[in-house]
Amino acid sequence: MAESFNPSAWREKLTDELLNNVTAFWLRHSLDREYGGYFNCLDRDGSVYDTTKHMWLQSRMVWMYSRLYNQFGGESAWLEAARLGLEFITRHGLTPEGRAWFSLTREGKPVFIQRKLFSECFYSMALDEYSRATGDEPLAAQALSMFDTVVELADNPHLLGRPMLEGQPQVNSLAVPMMLLCCAEQLAAGREDFSYTGRTDGWVEQILSHIDPRRKIVLENVKPGGDELPGSEGRLLNPGHAIEAGWFLLEHACGHDGGQYVQRALEMIEWSFERGWDGEHGGIYYFLDARNRPPVQLEWQMKLWWPHCEALYGTLLAWKISGREKFLEYFERTWDYIDTHLIDREHGGWFGYLDRRGSRTHQLKGGPYKCFFHVPRTLLLCVKLLEEIENR
């Protein structure tokens, strides 16, 4: 362990940030006690600027409040907050065919459905985590059944409703095997008879096929099997996402087969952090082009909160597993960026969006893709890991 690194001081600092800043802000502002569920579009001061309820976020918040309750002391306010969302998503969140909507009105009427499978993933994870808090067996069965739907959609993407066209390349997007692995890890915990254990090696292989060790990069999109796709899509790097995939793999590898993927996962985190960090202005880029052609995403050079959340836990875990000082330096550098750019000490919570130079572009605390999830998840994961480090 590095001389100057004090795990218990870090644990105390991050615990305070988790409970007294972030969780306090969201408990205070996000609960819709009138219609159930959560307000996820919160302005800087917590006021609601849009009442649309985005299902990714409703489900993620059910998961997060439940996880806090399950792993961090059983505070009844957390379970009540989880129940508020759980009742809303189970009452309003599903299509007649058993898929999950993407967004709902405040009262729960459907607004939009995506031609993707992520709403279903988060729904399954929410139900599972909540059922672990309450021992609700029928709910646990619904979580498993929704994962059947997720796997069916992943295996048969035409069921998502997007036409399959002749010129459309076959793409393996990093997000899909990542989410399948993440969701499977969630559901498999404590279940010896989990039906998809035999599939996880395949999803791990799919994740690993995104790594190009020669160029030390992790590509966001590859052909099935890992060959490079042509054009901008094939050159896309999403460093925060690759770091997240790295720590998913690290957790999976350590939990399962003696760690045969550990080196690869450590490389994913190291290479993506090195490539993604902006040496001039600090922070992790949102997108990059692997061959330095122009990224086509308008927001490519912005600094978002969530890649920094992924990097915080990913590098701490990588340091704990590898013992390499480099990862501890990444961890501290990431925290320093978060501390000076993202935490709102005036109104509470964390900001989400900065321009390349680190100036805030958005004052919002929650939006269609930001809620009570990445920040408390990374803080909780870091706190639990720091406890392990203290106790070893």
Q: List residues binding a copy of itself (CB under 8 A).
A: 41, 43-44, 49-52, 101, 104-105, 107-113, 163, 165-168, 230-232, 293-296, 298-302, 353, 355-356, 361-364, 367-368
Contact 240, 276 (CB under 8 A): yes
Closest CB to a copy of itself among 166 and 346? 166
Per the structure block, which two tokens stand in for 249?
Answer: 């793999």
Report, in Å, the least distance between residue 290 CB and a copy of itself.
12
Closest CB to a copy of itself among 6 and 232? 232
Q: Is the sign of the CA dihedral 221, 300, 329, 71 positive or negative?
A: negative
3-state DSSP helix/strand/coil % of the chain, to nearest 5 = 55, 10, 35
Contact 26, 78 (CB under 8 A): no
Per the structure block, which two tokens stand in for 350?
Answer: 């964390």
Dmax (CA) of the chain: 59
Closest CB to a copy of itself among 6 and 51? 51
Report, in Å, the least distance between residue 69 CB and a copy of itself.
30
Contact 222, 172 (CB under 8 A): yes
Closest CB to a copy of itself among 51 and 70? 51
- Pairing verdict, β 48-50 and 41-42: antiparallel
User: Any idea what DSSP says for residue 23?
Assistant: I
Nearest to 265, CA basis, from 247, 241, 240: 247
Closest CB to a copy of itself among 5 and 300? 300
Report, in Å, the least distance between residue 150 CB and a copy of itself.
20
Report, in Å, the least distance between residue 105 CB and a copy of itself.
4
Report, in Å, the least distance between residue 294 CB and a copy of itself.
4
Residue whose pair of structure tokens reads 């460093």 in the numeric block: 239
Nearest to 234, CA basis, from 285, 293, 277: 293
Q: Which SS3 state, helix, strand or coil, does residue 174 take?
A: coil
Report, in Å, the least distance between residue 193 CB and a copy of itself.
37
Closest CB to a copy of itself among 85 and 234? 234
Closest CB to a copy of itself among 307 and 367? 367
- Can you say how many angstroms the Cα of residue 207 is from the centroid of all Cα atoms in its chain? 15
Report, in Å, the least distance between residue 365 CB and a copy of itself.
9
